[in-house]
Amino acid sequence: MERKTILILGGGVGGQVAANTLATHLNGRHRIVLVDKQREFAFAPSFLWMIVGRRAPRDIQRPMEALLRKGVELVQAKTLRIDPAKKTVETSVGPMSFDHLVISLGADLAPEKVPGFQEAALNLYTMEGSSRIQKSLEGFSGRKVAVLIVSSPFKCPAAPYEAAFLIQDFLSRRGKPAEVCVFTPEPFPMPTAGQKVGEALKAMLESKAIRFNPNHKVTRIEPDGNRLVFENGKSETCDLIIGVPAHQAPKVARESGLTNEAGWIPVDRGTLATKYEGIYAIGDVAAVQIAGGKALPKAGIFAHSQAGVVAANILARLDGRAPDAKFDGKGWCAIELGGGSAAFGDGDFYAEGGPDVRLYEPSRYWHAGKVLFEKWWLAPFGPKRQALRLALNLGAKARGISVSL
Ligand SMILES: Cc1cc2nc3c(=O)[nH]c(=O)nc-3n(C[C@H](O)[C@H](O)[C@H](O)COP(=O)(O)OP(=O)(O)OC[C@H]3O[C@@H](n4cnc5c(N)ncnc54)[C@H](O)[C@@H]3O)c2cc1C
């Protein structure tokens, strides 16, 4: 049998799941090559615990190779060019060719898109930014903290709201309560999940006296005095600005000829196939259309499920079977509220009339589930990881939710 090459670009959430799923089934029959520019993987959901001092970088970071199964060849290199017609990729360590390609390059952050952001705001979406936020909150004695969402789309639609809850809780416990405000261009929180979920989250923010400012698109930040200036003519001065910067598709994706006008890679919503045979895009870099002209939110949970689907269909093709796996648009997330409690959203984003999302009552149970999930993700392969997986699957089953790892 001819040995084929499956090339995976990006070793984040989607890339790891795709590579590991393939490796579990292939047992060396075909090559699995994973290319990532980073040596270390950081579990981004835990940045939120980092900002309030509950995690240190070493708790949430692992060498990428420690998270990959035997049989995955890890190449530490930057992807420079993708030629979908010739089935080749140019990298910083040389050219590569492939039979099947999985693009899971994520979304790039573009803080430079808002003048003043880099000087005045701390970036919630990087490890380094989260460390700086933690230090700033530790010594904070000001009166007002802004959590600023610059533009949509941004990954994990709940994350900035979780940050607001955790910061409010942290400062109150320290006996240094401050006014925490969220500024966002969105009309209500997590708009893709629908108005009902948005209103419920808004009520949760209000119950903690977090000031929610919808329809506030920032145009610039004046570093002198930390003044946020918005498109709607308003402005606001804050002591600390914690920001979610603009997102954009990685340059190499934008230049691949695979993208839409916005730079993201449109894919079939079931198979994640691009317009080129044998080339798939998953996770944040992909553009998936859902009902009402909306796009599927960018979240790790979707990258994870999509990777499983793409791996299953590649395996089927390699074995000469018909590829029949389909991504069902289902996803969930635990929303940290502070004080060891979390809410939980679980939904079908492919529902015909638009996303059908249920928000469960806040409880310690969801928070514990999120902690277990983090431990499972970062655990080395072996009995401990298996036990964590079992605990997560049983816990989900007990609550009747659609989580299966
Ligand atoms: C603070 C925060 C909290 C979050 N919380 C949650 C949550 O609770 N639940 C949830 O579902 N999602 C959450 N997310 C979102 C989640 O982390 C992302 O949606 C997910 O990581 C997307 O997976 P991906 O594989 O598409 O991209 P990524 O995981 O970002 O991986 C992309 C990889 O590609 C590599 N790469 C990029 N360009 C190149 C290049 N040119 N050459 C080589 N390598 C390259 C990068 O180094 C990276 O390793 C959160 C995100 C943040 C920032």
- Probe target for ligand 1 pocket from 104, 192, 302, 378, with the most ligand atoms within 8 Å of CB: 104
pLDDT digits (tens, 9 = 90+) for 144-162: 999 999 999 999 999 999 9
- 192-228 residue pLDDT tens: 999 999 999 999 999 999 999 999 999 999 988 899 9
Question: What is the DSSP code (8-state) at residue 273?
Answer: B
Predicted confidence (pLDDT) at residue 72 exceeds the cutoff of 90: yes
Instruction: From 308, 371, 405, 267, select the one nearest 14 (Cα to Cα).
Output: 308
Cβ atoms 36, 64 nearer than 8 A: yes
Q: Which residues of 323-359 are buried (b: 16+ CB within 10 A; e: fewer)?
A: bebebebbbbbbbbbbbebbbbbbbebbeeebbbbeb
pLDDT in tens, 305-360: 999 999 999 999 999 999 999 999 999 999 999 999 999 999 999 999 999 999 99
Beta-bridged to residue 101, according to DSSP, are 7, 279
Residue nearest to atom 25 of ligand 1 (CA): 14
pLDDT grade for 75, boundaries at 50, 70 and 90: very high
Closest ligand 1 atom, CA of 64? 49
Atom nearest to 47 CA in ligand 1 = 1
Structure tokens at 87: 């089935």
* pLDDT in the model for residue 400: 82
What's the predicted TM-score (pTM) here? 0.97
How far, in Å, are 77, 283, 345, 394 from residue 156 at the CA level?
26, 11, 12, 25
Please state the atom number of ligand 1 nearest to the C-alpha of residue 163: 1
* Token pair belonging to 164: 């607001």
> Could you tell me which of 358, 294, 305 has the C-alpha nearest to residue 329?
305
Per residue in 247-276, pLDDT (tens digit) is 999 999 999 999 999 999 999 999 999 999
The alpha carbon of 397 and the centre of ligand 1 are apart by a number of angstroms equal to 27
The mean per-residue pLDDT over the stretch 291-314 comes to 97
Closest CA to ligand 1's atom 6: 45
**Cα-to-centroid distance, 15 and ligand 1 (Å):** 10
Q: What's the pLDDT score for residue 224?
A: 85
For residue range 7-59, list pLDDT tens digits in order: 999 999 999 999 999 999 999 999 999 999 999 999 999 999 999 999 999 99
pLDDT recorded at residue 223? 81
> How far does the centroid of ligand 1 lie from the alpha carbon of residue 265, in Å?
15
Per-residue model confidence (pLDDT) at position 163: 98
Torsion, Cα of 382, 388, 389, 391 (10° steps) = 140
State the Cα–Cα distance between residues 260 and 281, nearest whole angstrom.
13
pLDDT in tens, 110-135: 999 999 999 999 999 999 999 999 99
Ligand 1 atom index nearest CA of 79:
42
335 CA → ligand 1 middle, Å: 18
Domains of the chain listed by start with CATH number: 5-107+249-327 (3.50.50.60), 110-247 (3.50.50.60), 328-405 (no CATH)
70 vs 318: CA distance, rounded Å: 19
Nearest atom within ligand 1 for CA of residue 159: 3
Ligand 1 first shell, C-beta below 6 A: 10-15, 35-38, 44-45, 47-48, 78-79, 104-106, 124-125, 155-156, 159, 250, 252, 283-285, 298-301, 303, 333
Give the residue whose CA is nearest to atom 52 of ligand 1: 44
CA–centroid distance, residue 341 to ligand 1 (Å): 25
Output the CA 175–ligand 1 centroid distance in Å. Answer: 35
